[in-house]
Amino acid sequence: MEKIVVFTGAGVSAESGLKTFRDMGGLWGEYAIEDVASPAGWKRNPAVVLDFYNERRKAVLAARPNAAHEAIARLEEQFDVVVVTQNVDDLHERAGSSKIIHVHGEILKARSSIDASLVHVLDKPTIELGELCGKGSQLRPDIVWFGENVRHMDECAEHFAEASRVITIGTSLTVYPAAGLVEKAPWRAEKYLVSPEPQEIPYGFKFLRGAAATVVPHVVKCWLEGRKPV
């Protein structure tokens, strides 16, 4: 079965009403993003970090998949689809996609602050100070912070290299190393970048300008009908 890799960023979730760090202007309340999204910030004030992600988690739980998420899920009717996402929400899962790789973690999970392998799905929208893992350390969001290693890069690179079609949606392709994955796509693959704003287009990609919730369903319809998007 033909493989499609879908690479998504914050722009897709933004169309479901979820704020991006860019929307926040680098600040959340009076705190710089680095204070709530870095190991140093966690060490200085874990309560503030937990509060920040508790608010983000509540917003995720209140959000709904949009037309782009739903269209991506429909591709599985005819293709082997792998969604590689920089997003930490579960909107792809809720829309029906079955193969999703979260390179920056998942906000609806918690993990040990001393053993990254101890991860579990949260059964409530908050993590509180004093909630401990099985090894006795404070639970933290299962999120990749600035300065931490992006996940599953080798696996993702293999999927990109095997793809006959790649569509990149809602990402500025400026957050590395994840953004470098598009360079692994075969030169013969059919490749598109969907964004509402002009930006630097990776070599071999065709730029489709517009909102993800509008453009992606069109691309998916064309592919399911055996046509190239125009």
| Domain spans, the chain | 1-17+65-104+150-230, 19-62+107-143
- pLDDT tens digits, one per residue of 212-230: 999 999 999 999 999 999 7
DSSP annotation of 75: G
- pLDDT tens digits, one per residue of 20-58: 776 766 666 677 888 999 999 999 999 999 999 999 999
Strand pairing report for 139-143 and 105-112: antiparallel
Domain 1-17+65-104+150-230 has CATH 3.30.565.10: no
- Tell which wins on pLDDT, 34 or 115: 115
Ranges of H-type helices in 30-84: 33-36, 39-44, 46-62, 67-74
What 3-state class would DSSP assign to 222? helix
Handedness of CA 121, 155, 78, 69 (dihedral sign): positive
Q: Which pLDDT belongs to residue 184?
A: 94
Q: Which pLDDT belongs to residue 223?
A: 98
**19-62+107-143: CATH number:** 3.30.1600.10
What's the whole-number average pLDDT of the chain? 93
The residues that are catalytic are 104
Which pair of structure tokens corresponds to residue 78?
A: 């005819």
For the entire predicted model, the pTM comes to: 0.94
Region for 171 from its dihedrals, namely left if φ exceeds 0, alpha if ψ lies in -120 to 50, beta otherwise: beta
Q: Which pLDDT belongs to residue 25?
A: 67
- pLDDT tens digits, one per residue of 152-198: 999 999 999 999 999 999 987 877 788 889 999 999 999 999 999 87
> At residue 199, does pLDDT exceed 80?
no
> At residue 99, does pLDDT exceed 90?
yes
Q: Which pLDDT belongs to residue 169?
A: 96
Q: Which pLDDT belongs to residue 230?
A: 75
> At residue 207, does pLDDT exceed 90?
yes
